[in-house]
Each structure stands twice: as structure tokens, then as C-alpha cells.
Chain A
Amino acid sequence: GAGVSQTPSNKVTEKGKYVELRCDPISGHTALYWYRQSLGQGPEFLIYFQGTGAADDSGLPNDRFFAVRPEGSVSTLKIQRTERGDSAVYLCASSLIRNTGELFFGEGSRLTVL
């Protein structure tokens, strides 16, 4: 599979728990993005990595959300003390060249917080 891979595809957790969502981008893509899509809405930007560093994390809603990309490839989105309002589909995308807008999206990780 040459596409963006996200795991798990579905995650159900209880309020207050910690959650990790993983993204494996397309090989060679240096840019990686996280978006969140709530029901009936379009994707909402969370964070953008260029290589290992977070180039723009202005979309992270609060300090319970954190993302890493330690080796410049796989990224993990971490959510602490989950709340019911965190329930959404978390989308990861990657791109080869910066500033083209041609993002390749994964199928997403659906998070449900009970």
C-alpha cells in the first residue's frame, strides 16, 4: 500500500482516558498534516510538520493535544484526558512538496469518547 496509513481506524474510549493515533505517511513525503473532522463539518487544521519539527501547531485546540514526528516519518497524535467533545474523525495527510495544497489523505481514525 502506497497511501497514507492511519491506525486505529476506530477507537472507542472513556472520558478522561489517554489516546494515541498513528499516521504513516507516503514514503518520501516530508510534510505531514493532522486535521480533525467533526460530524457534518469539513476537516479542520490541527498541526503541520515539515520533517521532524512542528512548523505550525496553531490549530491544536488546547494543551491536551500533542503530536510528534520524531524521525520525520511516522507521526503520533496524542490526546490526554479525553472529553466527549473530542469525538471526531482525525485525518492525517502528507505531501511531497510544500505549498502545493496537494495533500494525500488517509482514511482517518474515528475517535469516540463515551
Chain B
Amino acid sequence: AQSVTQPDIHITVSEGASLELRCNYSYGATPYLFWYVQSPGQGLQLLLKYFSGDTLVQGIKGFEAEFKRSQSSFNLRKPSVHWSDAAEYFCAVGGDGNKLVFGAGTILRVKS
């Protein structure tokens, strides 16, 4: 069965510092992987996705993620965090892009 684990429930970083959010998945075949962000009062928004090819994918808002098959991971990174990045981040896996399985989310707090 597909599953996604986001080990960190909360993360706090200083504005301007780098960020890495962890995501591990379990999937029987080549997965489709996604990161979504949920800000208060807004719907989930797609940050980036991996289907195949280059394992380092670039997304919106300066985010990137790296697919590592050997570690079953798809960690999200950003070199310099802005206060507006404070939100909840969800990693998701899907075989056909439709029936996504989401992790429990990581709440990012940014301190000034």
C-alpha cells in the first residue's frame, strides 16, 4: 500500500535561513511525487512534482526537491526562507496522479 511519512510535525527556521522538509514514501512502482503548500484561508497549492527524468525538480516560490530512489525520499528544500513561507507543507505520492496519498504535513514557522 502507498504511504507517505513526514517525520517532522513542526519546524521553525529563522528568516533567511535554509530549509529542508523531509518526506519518505512507500510505493511499489515508480512513484509520482508532489509537494503541496497550504496557507491559512487558502486551498492547497502545488509547489512541484516529480514524474520522471531529472531527480532534482524546481518548483514555484524558489522551492526545489530531490528524488532519491535508494532512500525512498523526496525532500523539499529552499536556500533562504521568507516570512511568507510560513504554512503547512504536504508531501504526496500517486501512481497515476489522481488518487494521491498525502503525508500528515509539516507546519513551518518562520521567526524574524
Residues in A lying within 8 Å of B, measured CB to CB: 3-4, 31, 33, 35, 40-45, 48, 55-56, 58-59, 91, 93, 98-108
Contact with B98, one of A99, A107, A108 (Cβ below 8 angstroms): A99
Assembled-state Cα–Cα distance A103/B98 (Å): 8
Is the Cβ of B98 less than 8 Å from the Cβ of A98? yes
Q: Which residue of B lies closest to A9 (CB)?
A: B41
B99: A residues at CB distance < 8 A: 45, 48, 56, 58-59
Is the Cβ of B49 less than 8 Å from the Cβ of A102? yes
Decide if B96 is an interface residue (CB 8 Å cutoff): yes
Task: Report how many residues on chain B are interfacial, defined by Cβ distance under 8 Å.
Answer: 25
A43: B residues at CB distance < 8 A: 44, 90, 100, 102
27 A-B pairs with CB atoms under 8 Å apart are: A3-B43, A31-B98, A40-B104, A41-B104, A41-B105, A42-B92, A42-B102, A43-B44, A43-B102, A44-B102, A45-B100, A48-B98, A55-B98, A59-B99, A91-B44, A101-B32, A101-B34, A101-B46, A101-B92, A101-B98, A102-B46, A103-B100, A105-B36, A105-B45, A106-B43, A107-B41, A108-B43
Decide if B71 is an interface residue (CB 8 Å cutoff): no
Decide if B4 is an interface residue (CB 8 Å cutoff): yes
